[in-house]
Structure 1
Amino acid sequence: MTDDSETAPKVRYICQTYVEKSSGRGQPSLQIDKQFQYTSAEQARERAERECRSDACAGADAYSVIEDPASGEVGEPAFIVRLGNVPEFDTF
């Protein structure tokens, strides 16, 4: 007998922040700074809003992903909020 909670897809709520890094040539690039995992979309959104108010933060995303524990695959992000300077979805 298997435990369904171990094989059921899991929703992960993430807050991810970005900083601008100078390459020494032209436009600065965005780099991931911090990632926080939460148990609800609201918690991730609130953290993104708080982080984005920091002078050191260029931007923040709050999103969810669905992970299949059996295969280890993670689906595309579903954005809850995108604040400030964030990368295009294609480069995510």
Structure 2
Amino acid sequence: MSNSDGSETKTHYICQTYVEHKTGHDRETSLKIDNQFQYSTASEVQNRAERDAQSENCVGADAYLVIEDPGSGEVGLPSFLVRLGDVPEFDD
């Protein structure tokens, strides 16, 4: 991918897993990011999310991509490939 000024963009494929986290005196449950892994392709990241979502400690997993403009350092919003299990809501 190229920008109009000719600079290349980078696509990052991310797998992000979640665990339950109990907070406060009432032990309310929330989600907490457990791990993040970066891969080279969409199929690799999706396979990892599917594997991790089935593991005992993981309550959910996202596989997504973001596009970075190395020239400016800007990173776009995530584009989800799969969202499995209990994952946080995402508002654009």
TM-score (norm 2): 0.87
How many percent of aligned residue pairs carry the same amino acid?
Answer: 60
2:57 aligns with 56
Q: How far apart are residue 67 of structure 1 and its match? A: 0.4
- Rounded to whole Å, the distance in 1 between the matches of 2:61 and 2:80 is 11
Q: How far apart are residue 55 of structure 1 and its match? A: 1.0
Q: Which SS does the other structure have where 1:67 is aligned?
A: strand
Letter in 1 for 2:9: P
Letter in 2 for 1:50: R
- Rounded to whole Å, the distance in 2 between the matches of 1:27 and 1:42 is 35
- Rounded to whole Å, the distance in 1 between the matches of 2:27 and 2:90 is 22
Q: How far apart are residue 16 of structure 1 and its match? A: 0.3
1:73 aligns with 74
Q: How far apart are residue 27 of structure 1 and its match? A: 3.2
CA RMSD of aligned residues (A): 1.4
Deviations 1:35-55 (A, max 9, x none): 000000000000000001111
- Rounded to whole Å, the distance in 1 between the matches of 2:9 and 2:78 is 14
- Rounded to whole Å, the distance in 1 between the matches of 2:37 and 2:17 is 9
1:20 aligns with 2:30: no
1:10 aligns with 10
Letter in 1 for 2:38: Q
Unaligned stretches of 5+ in structure 2? 1-6
1:47 aligns with 48
- Rounded to whole Å, the distance in 1 between the matches of 2:72 and 2:16 is 24
Letter in 2 for 1:9: T
The structure carrying a bigger helix percent of its residues is 1
Query: How many pairs does the alignment contain?
Result: 85
